[in-house]
Structure 1
Amino acid sequence: MIELKQISKVYGSGNKKTTALSGLDLTIGKGEIFGIIGHSGAGKSTLIRCINLLERPSTGEVWINGVQMTRLGKKQLQKERRRIGMIFQHFNLLSSATVYDNIAFPLRLSGTPKSRIDEKVKELLALVGLEQHGSKYPAQLSGGQKQRVGIARALASEPDVLLCDEATSALDPQTTDSILKLLLDINKQFNLTIVLITHEMHVIQSICDQVAVIHQGGIVEQGPVANVFLKPQHPITRDFIQRESDQGESLQELTGTASGASQPVKITFLGDKTYESILSQTVRRTGVDFAILQGKISTIKTVPYGQLIVRFEGSDEAVQRTLEELAKQGLDVEVMN
């Protein structure tokens, strides 16, 4: 669906040259919600703007639906861009136009008949839950309502791809969740490919299928959200997840107060196993005791997961047998140093 090949973006020249992206490769499948996460200055906004060539890469190729965007002339590029919707952090609405006219704007630009414009705008107002707000102006709307207008406008040309540039960063947590739910519903209803950039792991965890972590202009880790979130490999990824976990006490503080010399063990449950009594049944069979040092249950998109950090008490042989039995039952077991 979307393929970026060796994308680089350099600003300036000579001593003032700045490299925003460096030899970046990325593939995004049809119908996926693909998250790109990174700190400020990592290159994520440049990356998403290279997809629709609002920023033209210095080197590399951008392919969308089998079309090499980087080879298109101006007229062809404008035509292809109609298949790519985009929503922004600060909404970018026309302040002097009504909600209705903001949504109708791209349709008028493309020469859509007036009767079809009216029909389409009403459909989109209903889709984003703003049926009663068509005659209002952006200044009369809340932040969440403005973003819903932005989403409706982006969908007006019936795109194949929706790019979201920090679309929830200016919103409060409750409004953020409602916008994420709307994007998830749109993805399901239209099989729309969504590329979403953010610096918030909560956003990735809530709706994304795949995630790429960008740092200093390159992708340092990527894969299914559950894999990356539950077993992060890169220090930048671990930092994002640690900030998201909101668990005040560090593992060192927790284990420092525990008696005994056994190492803590992180046990991860995914899917239906999250709610099964696997741990208690296993320790009854192996004859060990355990103390829970830390734990949480949450969801990744719609899939439940749980993580426990425990300290087992028993003979080395019994503890080892416990770890092996837990692993055989499909749990991820990690002895922590």
Structure 2
Amino acid sequence: MIELKQLTKTYGSKQKATTALSGVNLTVGKGEIFGVIGHSGAGKSTLIRCINLLERPTTGEVWVGGTELTSLRKRELQRQRSKIGMIFQHFNLLSSATVYNNIAFPLTLIGTPKAEIAKKVNELLALVGLEEHRNKYPAQLSGGQKQRVGIARALASDPDVLLCDEATSALDPQTTDSILKLLLDINRKFNLTILLITHEMNVIQTICDRVAVIHQGNIVEQGPVSQVFLKPKHQVTREFINHDSFAEAGLKLANSVQHPQWARLVRITFLGAKTYESVLSQVVRQTNVNFAILHGTISTIKEVPYGQLTVSFEGDASDVDRTLALLRERDLDVEVIG
């Protein structure tokens, strides 16, 4: 659905040139929720604006729905842009227009008959839960309600793709959760492809299928959220998910306790249904190995549960090795860390 090929964006010229994007390659599948995460200044806003050519790339190709956008003439580009909805961090609503008219605005611009506009806007008001606010103005709405108007407006032209530019960063945590749930419901109801950028790992963890990490204009890591979240490779990724903090907490606890010389310190990762199964106790009963749980966490990645434990195993070295092998046979990720 979306494919970026060797995308580069440079501002300025010659000695004063600043590179915002450097050879970015990215593919987003139909119906996928894809997240791009990065610190401020990493290039993520430039990236999302290049997809609908609000920013024209310096070099590279932007493919959306099988069409290469950078090669299009103005009129054809405008037609293709109608298939790409966008919501913004600060909502970008018309302050002098009602909720109804803000949502209707894209349809009004292209001369849609009033009856069709009314039907569409009423459907969207119901979808985003704003039927009772149709005649209010943006100043009368909360931040979450304003973003719901922005989402409804972006959906007015029945787009194939929805771009989200830090759509929740101006909202409180509870409102953020409600907006993410709405986006997930829209994705599932319409099979809408969603690409979002954020600096919040919670957003990625809650709704995204895959994620790319951008740093200094380069994609430094990408893959399924579970893979990137649970086994990060790049230091920037590790910072976002506090991976090192988790590891350090387990090691700190381990080092604060006296253990036999043959003790083995291990991090075990559970994913899916196994998170709630007694796998660890079942295995150690077979191997007669003692264990102590030093640190642990449990959460979800897009409604899929996961858990991580830092465990100290004590016993004969061969029995500990057998324990780790049996855990791996149960499709658990087992990493010896000390």
- TM-score (structure 1 length as normaliser): 0.97
Q: Write out per-residue CA displacement over residues 207-259 of structure 1, whole angstroms, 9 at most, x where no aligned residue.
A: 0001000011011110111111111111111111107x986973332122122
Q: Which residue of 2 aligns with 1:300?
A: 301
Provide the secondary structure at the position in 2 that maps to 1:222: strand
**1:2 maps to 2:2:** yes
Whether the aligned pair in 1 keeps the contact of 2:264 and 2:314 (CA below 8 Å) is no
Q: Which residue of 1 aligns with 2:251?
A: 252
Query: Matches of residues 35-184 of structure 1 in structure 2 within 5 Å?
Result: 35-184=35-184
Provide the secondary structure at the position in 2 that maps to 1:170: coil
Any unmatched runs of 5+ in structure 2?
Answer: none
For residues 289 and 177 of structure 1, the distance between their equivalents in structure 2, rounded to whole angstroms, comes to 41
Comparing 10-19 with 173-182, which one deviates more in the overlay?
A: 10-19
For residues 293 and 41 of structure 1, the distance between their equivalents in structure 2, rounded to whole angstroms, comes to 38
**1:313 maps to 2:302:** no
Q: Write out per-residue CA displacement over residues 46-102 of structure 1, whole angstroms, 9 at most, x where no aligned residue.
A: 000000000000000000111000000111111100000000000000011100000
- Alpha-carbon spacing, 1:247–1:320, altered in 2? closer, same or farther (3 Å): closer
For residues 193 and 88 of structure 2, the distance between their equivalents in structure 1, rounded to whole angstroms, comes to 17
Q: Which residue of 1 aligns with 2:34?
A: 34
1:334 shift after superposition: 0.6
1:268 shift after superposition: 0.7
Q: Write out per-residue CA displacement over residues 264-284 of structure 1, whole angstroms, 9 at most, x where no aligned residue.
A: 211011111111100001011
Letter in 2 for 1:256: N
Q: Which residue of 2 aligns with 1:275?
A: 276
Query: Matches of residues 151-230 of structure 1 in structure 2 within 5 Å?
Result: 151-230=151-230
Provide the secondary structure at the position in 2 that maps to 1:273: helix
For residues 258 and 283 of structure 2, the distance between their equivalents in structure 1, rounded to whole angstroms, comes to 22
Letter in 2 for 1:235: Q
- Alpha-carbon spacing, 1:331–1:283, altered in 2? closer, same or farther (3 Å): same
Provide the secondary structure at the position in 2 that maps to 1:77: helix
Provide the secondary structure at the position in 1 that maps to 2:116: helix
Q: Which residue of 2 aligns with 1:334?
A: 335
Q: Which residue of 2 aligns with 1:289?
A: 290
For residues 72 and 115 of structure 1, the distance between their equivalents in structure 2, rounded to whole angstroms, comes to 32
For residues 200 and 259 of structure 1, the distance between their equivalents in structure 2, rounded to whole angstroms, comes to 38
Letter in 2 for 1:287: N
1:37 shift after superposition: 0.4
Letter in 1 for 2:12: G
For residues 25 and 41 of structure 1, the distance between their equivalents in structure 2, rounded to whole angstroms, comes to 19
Query: Matches of residues 226-241 of structure 1 in structure 2 within 5 Å?
Result: 226-241=226-241
Comparing 148-157 with 282-291, which one deviates more in the overlay?
A: 282-291
For residues 253 and 275 of structure 2, the distance between their equivalents in structure 1, rounded to whole angstroms, comes to 23
Whether the aligned pair in 1 keeps the contact of 2:249 and 2:295 (CA below 8 Å) is no
How much identity, in percent, do the aligned residues show? 72
Provide the secondary structure at the position in 2 that maps to 1:264: strand
For residues 86 and 253 of structure 1, the distance between their equivalents in structure 2, rounded to whole angstroms, comes to 45
For residues 247 and 109 of structure 2, the distance between their equivalents in structure 1, rounded to whole angstroms, comes to 52
1:13 shift after superposition: 1.0
Provide the secondary structure at the position in 2 that maps to 1:19: strand
For residues 11 and 255 of structure 1, the distance between their equivalents in structure 2, rounded to whole angstroms, comes to 50
1:15 shift after superposition: 2.4
Any unmatched runs of 5+ in structure 1?
Answer: none
1:158 shift after superposition: 0.3
For residues 318 and 201 of structure 2, the distance between their equivalents in structure 1, rounded to whole angstroms, comes to 39
- TM-score (structure 2 length as normaliser): 0.97
Letter in 2 for 1:305: Y
1:263 shift after superposition: 3.8
For residues 118 and 91 of structure 1, the distance between their equivalents in structure 2, rounded to whole angstroms, comes to 22
For residues 215 and 263 of structure 1, the distance between their equivalents in structure 2, rounded to whole angstroms, comes to 36
Q: Write out per-residue CA displacement over residues 146-181 of structure 1, whole angstroms, 9 at most, x where no aligned residue.
A: 000000000000000000000000000000000000
